[in-house]
Amino acid sequence: MGYQADKIFVNLAVKDLHKTKDFFTKVGFEFNLQFTNEFAACMVINENIFAMLLVEDHFKTFTKKEITDSKKSTEAILALSVESKDKVIEIVNKALEAGASPSKDPQDHGFMYGWGFEDINGHLWELFSMDESAME
């Protein structure tokens, strides 16, 4: 097997860090305060996966390219696997209650269930649950 990273930090540009942290707290995420300040917040997805929410001016220090307006263009879809269909529904409903928009209708493929939302900054998140044994 090739190279495997120990951790992943996905950097996302945000308009308003306080509102973004409030949104994701309502969804159920926590933050690593060691890597959080007035310019950035480290959202813990699991022990090895993090989303670095960076205010746009700070995000610009990492790239020479223009920042994508994620309200107008899709930069990526952040897909998170969770343990069950019920957990997918729970998390997406929390996101919608916190101000997200649905990005697509729920998809039920028998062995896999998925549903997505667009967060308050326009980033697309997909939650899914998959029974890998049904694929064998």
Amino acid residing at 78: L
pTM: 0.88
pLDDT at 134: 73
Cα–Cα distance, 100 to 21 (Å, whole number): 13
Q: How far is CA 92 from CA 42, 66, 99, in A?
A: 20, 30, 11
Q: Which fold has domain 1-61?
A: 2,3-Dihydroxybiphenyl 1,2-Dioxygenase; domain 1 (3.10.180)
Intrachain domains 1-61 and 70-136 with the same fold: yes
pLDDT at 136 (0 to 100): 61
Boundaries of every domain in the chain: 1-61, 70-136
User: Could you tell me the mean pLDDT of each successive run of 10 residues in the chain, 136 residues long?
Assistant: 89 97 98 97 97 97 92 92 96 98 95 96 96 73
Architecture of domain 70-136 in this structure: Roll (3.10)
Q: Amino acid letter at 97? A: E
Phi/psi-derived region of residue 107, left when phi > 0, alpha when psi is between -120 and 50, beta in every other case: beta
